């Protein structure tokens, strides 16, 4: 059995109580208020559900993360990163990035990023908690990603590409910049072959929660402006 959350409390059951099947399902209900969402991420929990369903809250075991000092860049991606035909920015088109992430993917006609989710994360962005990375080519938004920042933790949510490698460019720049600011790892939530090629790995949930406790309350004071040199690639 999972817990049903009321709207009057932002508390969650411990992540250790999540089901093994389906892996990580912890609770249902509640809302997507900024207070509840931030409390969820700070406790290793995130929402994921289809439009028309109750809000479902998850904390899978194992957890997919990338340590910022273990970024893997393939030879072909390194060549792509060194080409001076794109620009990378922070927080210049958050809503548009969410739209890109919500667009149907190949072989799928739907999306889990509902209008409710879109509105909730835009509120977090306006409050300074959610951030986007944009990749621009010829003045066009060709890829990007978004996620939540708390202390020295970044919780990745989704990414998209409209041109080859655009999301990988966004992710590589994000990882290197966060490393420069003192972020030790990024939460990638669940196994994703796309991210594994960039160095993402699975760790036990207990290890992830220990990492979370160490870093979520530690200030990193990011400027949310890129200041890394391309020579890092």
CATH of the domain at 24: 3.30.70.3550
Same domain, 221 and 174: yes
pLDDT of residue 84: 83
Distance of CA 29 to the CA centre of its chain: 22
Distance CA 119, CA 112 (A): 13
Answer for the pair 23, 9: CB distance below 8 angstroms, yes or no.
no
Give tens-digit pLDDT for 22-71.
999 999 999 999 999 999 999 999 999 998 899 999 999 999 999 999 99
Same domain, 37 and 70: no
CATH of the domain at 88: 3.40.630.70
Chain length of the chain? 233
Same domain, 12 and 95: no
Same domain, 133 and 215: yes
Give tens-digit pLDDT for 132-173.
999 999 999 999 999 999 999 999 999 999 999 999 999 999
Alpha helices in the chain (DSSP H): 34-42, 75-82, 94-102, 115-126, 166-181, 193-196, 205-215
User: What's this model's pTM, rounded to 2 decimal places?
Assistant: 0.95
Q: How many domains does the chain have?
A: 2
Longest dimension (CA), the chain: 53
Adjacent-strand bridge partners of 67: 185
Same domain, 147 and 37: no
> At 222, phi and psi to the nearest 5?
-70, 155
Domain final position from 45, 60, 75: 60
- Domain region containing 103: 64-232
């Amino acid at each position: 059995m999972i817990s049903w959350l009321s709207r009057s409390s932002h508390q969650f059951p411990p992540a250790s109580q999540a089901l093994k099947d389906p892996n990580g399902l912890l609770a249902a209900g509640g809302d997507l208020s900024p207070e509840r969402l931030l409390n969820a991420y700070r406790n290793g929990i995130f929402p994921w559900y289809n439009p028309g369903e109750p809000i479902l809250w998850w904390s899978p075991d194992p957890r997919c993360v990338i340590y910022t000092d273990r970024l893997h860049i393939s030879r072909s991606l390194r060549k792509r990163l060194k080409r001076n035909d794109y620009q990378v920015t922070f927080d210049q088109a958050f809503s548009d990035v969410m739209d890109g992430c919500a667009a149907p993917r190949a072989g799928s006609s739907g999306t889990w990023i509902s209008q409710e989710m879109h509105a909730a994360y835009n509120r977090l962005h306006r409050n300074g908690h959610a951030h986007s990375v944009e990749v621009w080519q010829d003045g066009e938004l060709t890829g990007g990603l978004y996620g939540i920042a708390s202390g020295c933790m970044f919780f990745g949510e989704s990414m998209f590409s409209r041109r080859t490698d655009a999301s990988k460019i966004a992710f590589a720049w994000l990882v290197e910049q966060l490393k420069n600011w003192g972020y030790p790892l990024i939460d990638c939530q669940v196994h994703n072959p796309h991210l594994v090629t960039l160095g993402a790995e699975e760790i036990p949930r207990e290890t992830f929660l220990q990492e979370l406790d160490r870093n979520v309350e530690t200030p990193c004071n990011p400027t949310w402006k890129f200041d890394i040199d391309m020579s890092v690639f």
